[in-house]
Amino acid sequence: MCGKTFILTDKIEFFPDKDLEGELNFNFRATGYVFNKTLEVSIYRENLVKLGICTESEVDRIYTQKILKNLKKQKPFLKNAESTCLQASTDRLIKAYNGFYDNRTGRPHFKSLKKNPVISITLRNNEYSTKEGMKSTLRWEENLFRLNKLGYIKVKYKRDIDGKIKEATIIKENGRWFICIVYELEKIQPREEFKNSGLYVGIDVGLTDFLTFSNGKVIPKPDLKRINGRIQYYQQKIARQKKNGSNWKKTLKKLHRWINKKNNVVLDYYHKISYNIVKHCEFIAMETLNIRGMIRSRNLSRSIHEIGWGKLIEMIKYKAQWYGREFIQIDRWFPSSKKCNVCGEINHDLDCDERVWECPHCHSILQRDVNAAKNILDEGLRAAGSTVLCLVDFMPIGQGKFLYHYEWKCFDETIGMA
């Protein structure tokens, strides 16, 4: 866990003046232009391949760099833009194409101002030599952050992070400007605040109960009823107003404020949950969620998007790393909810909406989510391997019989391997 390089992103709000805002908007347009042109040329080449005129077909770094070089020759205005962010935008296209080649996503789309606008640019860090030695293009100077050609920006606050700056992304989000600075840390020292707690949990995620723990604890969803109501109200209001009129602009501002509020409430809630889980639990096992598949297969896409499990799991993951806890994600195909935790029987007839069920083999009455969380914990411990056996000793007595249950199982498997 330690020794690996560790990536940390710090997101800070900043307030650009009119000049800088103009510069940034120009760079947004330039990256969009480069993205579209590269995509256009790539599609043209695909057609040539289809006709048998051309053989190569993958969009890769060498190819996009060739296109970028030619574009810069043809369109001199691109020279005024940040060169690293142009390259980053072609890298984004490569990423989009890779997803398309692996059948993970659809074909990359063109950027347009209305439907699919560019909302962020990424600047890479480069080093250059000066009389005083090597300097980075992205760096802190006191409380100002230097952004290459774009000059210095004043940020709301500065966090002291001892790491190498890799890149910085500027995002325009609902009318506010943010900079995400990506640091690479050589080593992360597990923090010593949390001592061995001896608590081992499996966590099941669900729509009815947001998080269910293997010890029976349940954490509810963030309460967004009021905020969603306000967002809906302003969305309906703005739809009736004349576009770009003064009232329309006022409503848009209010709508953005409520959307921001919602994001902040959700993020705050997730940070608190993930911090507390990592604080209290030494070993955390979760499922690998197939959120994409869930959105496609059930009519729940809206609530799933709202919940944003992916973000929460990411938070638990990095915090576990940060605080030296063990975090394991078990296989997506593991039948966590259909398996009886007491005898191991798999109940294939289990319905999606049955909250409590009886095992057909050993006749135990099982609570669906708690049973799933226990299975996730067992499977996580099994996946963690032999270290678990010595960790079992730390387990406090009297946390339910499932503890002894997997102690026996692990022991059995170790014997089987020898």
* Binding residues vs Zn ion (CB under 5 A): 340, 342-343, 345, 359, 361-362
What minimum distance in Å lies between the beta carbon of 357 and Zn ion? Answer: 10
CB count, 10 Å around CB of 122? 20
What minimum distance in Å lies between the beta carbon of 415 and Zn ion? Answer: 23
CB nearer to Zn ion: give 118 or 366. Answer: 366
Looking at residue 228, its amino acid is N
Rounded Cα gap, residues 416 and 413, in angstroms: 5
What minimum distance in Å lies between the beta carbon of 211 and Zn ion? Answer: 24
Q: CA–CA distance from 79 to each of 19, 88, 138, 242, 418 (Å)?
A: 18, 15, 19, 39, 65
CB nearer to Zn ion: give 259 or 340. Answer: 340
CB nearer to Zn ion: give 34 or 340. Answer: 340
3-state secondary structure 118-172: CCEEEEECCEEEECCEEEECEEEECCEEEEHHHCEEEECCCCCCCCEEEEEEEEE
CB nearer to Zn ion: give 124 or 368. Answer: 368
CB nearer to Zn ion: give 359 or 403. Answer: 359
Rounded Cα gap, residues 170 and 148, in angstroms: 13
| CA distance between the termini of the chain | 27
CB count, 10 Å around CB of 298? 12
Rounded Cα gap, residues 169 and 190, in angstroms: 28
Token readout for 364 is 């135990």
Characterize 185-222 residue by residue with b for buried, 16 or more Cβ atoms within 10 angstroms of its Cβ, and e for exposed: eeebeeeeeeeeeebbbbbbbbeebbbbbbbeeebebb
CB nearer to Zn ion: give 1 or 362. Answer: 362
What minimum distance in Å lies between the beta carbon of 39 and Zn ion? Answer: 55
What minimum distance in Å lies between the beta carbon of 408 and Zn ion? Answer: 16
CB nearer to Zn ion: give 305 or 361. Answer: 361
What minimum distance in Å lies between the beta carbon of 361 and Zn ion? Answer: 5
What minimum distance in Å lies between the beta carbon of 343 and Zn ion? Answer: 3
Helices (H), 52-125: 61-74, 83-101
